[in-house]
Structure 1
């Protein structure tokens, strides 16, 4: 099974993933936990290019293609072998992030994004996507707190108009793929979010 966790920056993906991994492992499954962009040496190098703050503006399609290139390497080198070994894969971000951030956020044509990703990824799409839904104000508050303890990345520094487009893009994906997407209110407490995710996993594993 291939599970992805999606949401706007500040939505709590990192907080959720490790407890979810431990919960599934307690049920007797072997879990492979990974992230995007990254997950392999080459993909991590691309991650550095994408997230490093820089004075130059990265073209929207350059950004999208770098994410997709990183994803292809990650898929071939890490995700597919894990799935073939009958592991449950949990990935922090995947193809829907590119649709939301580069498609909706940068204003690229969604059909073009979909076509490129379909060609590159083929049949390797998530079986389940948990979307952590959080409004822009709350997301910004969390990012500002994180900035106090860690360096914000390039995408954290984007303006509110861009971030709202990303949120709207995710909402469109939820409507488009209701069977794959399961939505959790990310404004709930950490414990409540984790419990809801566990309930979703229980339903899927049945």
Structure 2
């Protein structure tokens, strides 16, 4: 059996990741692909418990390093208990955020040393990296307006100031410049259908590359 594919969706709040993950899953399933949809932080019961600690307002401060350690603890659990088993049985895993989000939010946003992010990545992920990352990108002002239209912002990241998200977006674009083969930028200022078409095209290209690599 051929191994599955690991696809991650990234971007700041308000770019429409959740919508596009759902559309991508439907696209793949229409082609007979087993799809596992998940998210970070979270994805398993224990990792979801850590998600609540990271995202919900707490009675005491949670600094950038503490966030970083909690993120990678959740990620290690998520990989071991959900992502890796799914990939081994040949499923495609679509994940709403992964380590690029940690580099962007804790590194770019909080100012945590990116070398610390990469060190924990090596420990927690044991070599596992996405086959494809779709970076849904839009200016902060556009994304923020969309996020506000969804209703009150309640988690610790959604309520951050504009300057925080400018740093996060800059960090995402730096990752794109560093790894253009893995990370594909998708213009998220457009409508849902146009974005979904681009996403589907990238997924189809990945499927073709996988088929060629597997051989006859």
Q: Calculate the TM-score normalised by the size of structure 1.
A: 0.96
2:14 aligns to what SS in structure 1? coil
Q: Which residue of 2 aligns with 1:189?
A: 191
Q: For structure 2, which runs of at least 5 residues remain unmatched after alignment?
A: 209-216
Q: Which residue of 2 aligns with 1:108?
A: 112
1:146 and 1:152 in contact (8 A); partners too = no
How far did 1:55 drift? 5.2
Q: Which residue of 2 aligns with 1:175?
A: 177
Residues 42-80 of structure 1 deviation map (CA, whole Å, 9 limit, x = unaligned):
001011111112353311100011111111101100000
Q: Which residue of 1 aligns with 2:76?
A: 72
What is the CA–CA distance in structure 1 between the aligned matches of 2:86 and 2:149, rounded to whole Å? 35
- 1:52-67 matches, cutoff 5 A: 52-54=56-58, 56-67=60-71
What is the CA–CA distance in structure 2 between the aligned matches of 1:81 and 1:179, rounded to whole Å? 25
How many residues matched? 204
Q: 1:120 aligns with which of 124, 128, 132?
A: 124
What is the CA–CA distance in structure 1 between the aligned matches of 2:103 and 2:189, rounded to whole Å? 23
What is the CA–CA distance in structure 2 between the aligned matches of 1:91 and 1:81, rounded to whole Å? 14
How far did 1:136 drift? 0.6
How far did 1:111 drift? 1.5
- 1:15-164 matches, cutoff 5 A: 15-54=19-58, 56-148=60-152, 151-164=153-166
Structure 1 residues 147 and 55: alpha-carbon distance in aligned structure 2, compared to 1, 3 A threshold: farther
What is the CA–CA distance in structure 2 between the aligned matches of 1:118 and 1:147, rounded to whole Å? 37
Ranges of 4+ aligned residues in structure 1 off by more than 3 Å: none
How far did 1:29 drift? 1.1
Alignment root-mean-square deviation, CA: 1.1
What is the CA–CA distance in structure 2 between the aligned matches of 1:9 and 1:54, rounded to whole Å? 21
Q: Which residue of 2 aligns with 1:199?
A: 201
How far did 1:89 drift? 0.6
Q: Calculate the TM-score normalised by the size of structure 2.
A: 0.92
